[in-house]
Chain A
Amino acid sequence: MKKQIMAILGAAVLLAACESDPNQNVDVGSAPQPGSSEDFRRNVKDRVFFALNKATLSHEAKQNVDSQVQWLKTYGNTNVVVEGHCDERGTREFNQALGAKRANAVKHALTHKGVKKARIKTISYGKDRPPVAGTGEAVWAQNRTAITVVQ
């Protein structure tokens, strides 16, 4: 919540700067517009991580989902896609299914906390679009994930 307010304040300062001197070069990319997908990605914990072969939300994962809920309640006209991913140490079809289960675990948590079902889509990328490139347990742990993306 704190981060979110900071972001909004940051944007306000930048806007003020623009007003006072229209010729000044302002890097607007550094402060995403509130309510934008970039704002969500940067200022909310946009992803949760799962244990090996699991699709259940840990305590930490639930907290991350809570921060997503706060944001989604603030910006009620946004929609999201929850992307489910698996690490590369598995077979293709099962991971396709596991990714879907993970994405849906987040979807259920979001709807349980009051986000409307119609605002949430899910997609599974199985093991075929890992968010983090590379190999080894540290990378695989980051790829056992569900990422909420604002559209």
Chain B
Amino acid sequence: MCWLIAPHVHAIKIEVRQGQIDPTPIALVGLQGDAELGSKINEVIGTDLVGSGLFRSISPSAFIQDAASAQTNPRFADWRLVNAQLLFVGKISQENDKIRIEFRLFDVFSGSQMLGLSFSAERTKWRKMAHMIADAIYKRVTGEDGYFDTQMVFIDESGPKGKGRVRRLGVMDYDGFNARYLTDGKHLVVTPRISPNSMEIAYLSYAGGTPSVYHYNITTGRNALLGRFEGMTFAPRFSPDGQSVIFSLEKEGASAIYVMDVKGKQTRQLTPHNSIDTSPCYSPKGDQVVFVSDRVSETDKDSKYVNLFVMDASGSNAKRISFGGGKYFQPVWSPRGDWIAFIKSEEGTFKLGLMRPDGSDERIIQEGYLIEAPSWSANGREIVFTMEKGPKDRPSLYRVNLTGHNLQKVKTPHDASDAAWSKLLSETPTQ
């Protein structure tokens, strides 16, 4: 897929750091040249942008100028009348066995072009092209990378809840489309994590009897034990450089944190086998690890239940960072480094929260009957998690903005849990 870049003039900018903002109205004019595909692509772009909470799509029924003339010669006065701030126009053309999309983004107030790009790909990749266009618009307007041309690994769940539940390792687009399955459901699989290059998965499987971390290569289809251990290995997560996996190893009922390189050659023990130490996650720089422990804190004998600790990547200097009520689980460091997302169980409900890496500024952004398994978008703006809304509900995936606004259900083929979000799969052009 290739991008061609046209000149533009800089104009408006959305600030994504604030809390709730007024979404910017955008007029997505149907792509010319292939009406059917054009409207499908526009729908995906619209769903992406509106789903971010930063944009609002103006209904085409309000449009004054027709699509064909808007594409060649936009009349900005007409678009100002319908309160559009952004105008998207473009066309699709057939190019041998590929399609080529050209599009422009205008700032309606100044009448200036903000973005003009064209690219081509196989027709079957139209959803990916639509996500890439949405990423380009998002980046141009917010100044930050989008998260639309991404995938999630997840657990597909079917059958009755409980013993007979069938779980398959799956991978899908971030919006739930194009799901495919990498295991057949014969063995229990949970907690998949995707590597920084989006080509590898670390997950827990019962395939070999002892629950163990497996390492799956999406490109080659190779699926193997991460390493051989006496005892259960679980709760894997890749290091930021993708070269190693940090995980828990259980011996005689005590779980400690270890790290192993993905080639399975070298293992290092980071915490002692004294308590339950699990759910380790590296800081984006790789210099620290946040984890869950039910240990009694050295500095605070008062600590009880289950808390979050941060230690150096070497395993030294472990410090408790959670001090609120309830039990803390599943900390995940934001790719931007500024927040740690976590799950809190308190008074019969589950909460999705955020705190600074030093434990300050704790806030709850979502609450429900059962909430778990948070995972960040690569731009650190959105979190995907598993939620059951009540005792009769089944697990589903939801996305929410880090401000707690704009909750969206991810439409998956069946019940789903334990999503892990990839980075952007293609580079968004910068102008």
> 16 A-B pairs, CB-CB below 8 angstroms?
A53-B306, A91-B345, A92-B190, A92-B373, A94-B292, A96-B232, A96-B248, A97-B250, A97-B255, A98-B276, A101-B253, A105-B253, A123-B209, A128-B190, A130-B163, A134-B162
What chain A residues lie within 8 Å of B419 (beta carbons)?
none
A138 lies within 8 A of chain B by Cβ: no
A104 lies within 8 A of chain B by Cβ: yes
On whether the beta carbons of B191 and A92 are closer than 8 Å, the reply is yes
* Residue among B167, B330, B392 making CB contact with A91, cutoff 8 Å: B330
Contact with B along A116-139 (1 / 0, CB 8 A): 000000111110111111111000
CB-nearest residue of chain A to B388: A88
Cβ of B209 to closest chain A Cβ, rounded Å = 8
Cβ of A25 to closest chain B Cβ, rounded Å = 32
* A102 to B415 Cα, complex, angstroms: 29
How many contacting A-B pairs (Cβ < 8 A)?
A: 99
A103 lies within 8 A of chain B by Cβ: yes
Main secondary structure of the interface of B (DSSP, over half): strand
On whether the beta carbons of A128 and B188 are closer than 8 Å, the reply is yes
What chain A residues lie within 8 Å of B253 (beta carbons)?
55, 100-105, 107-108, 122
A42 lies within 8 A of chain B by Cβ: no
On whether the beta carbons of A135 and B391 are closer than 8 Å, the reply is yes
* A100 to B253 Cα, complex, angstroms: 5
Contact with A along B190-212 (1 / 0, CB 8 A): 11000000000000100001110
On whether the beta carbons of B279 and A129 are closer than 8 Å, the reply is no
What chain B residues lie within 8 Å of A27 (beta carbons)?
none
Contact with A along B254-296 (1 / 0, CB 8 A): 1100000000000000000000101100000000000010000
- Residues of B bordering A, CB below 8 Å: 160-163, 165, 167, 188, 190-191, 204, 209-211, 232, 234-235, 248, 250, 252-255, 276, 278-279, 292, 305-306, 327, 329-330, 343, 345, 370, 372-373, 391-392, 418
A89 lies within 8 A of chain B by Cβ: yes
Cβ of B129 to closest chain A Cβ, rounded Å = 36
On whether the beta carbons of B292 and A96 are closer than 8 Å, the reply is no
What chain A residues lie within 8 Å of B235 (beta carbons)?
93, 96
Cβ of B67 to closest chain A Cβ, rounded Å = 49
What chain A residues lie within 8 Å of B250 (beta carbons)?
97, 100, 124
Cβ of A131 to closest chain B Cβ, rounded Å = 7
On whether the beta carbons of B204 and A96 are closer than 8 Å, the reply is yes
On whether the beta carbons of B188 and A100 are closer than 8 Å, the reply is no
What are the 8 closest A-B residue pairs judged by CB atoms, nearest first? Answer: A104-B253, A133-B162, A93-B235, A91-B329, A97-B255, A101-B253, A97-B276, A135-B391
What chain B residues lie within 8 Å of A96 (beta carbons)?
190, 204, 211, 232, 234-235, 248, 278
What chain A residues lie within 8 Å of B330 (beta carbons)?
91, 93-94
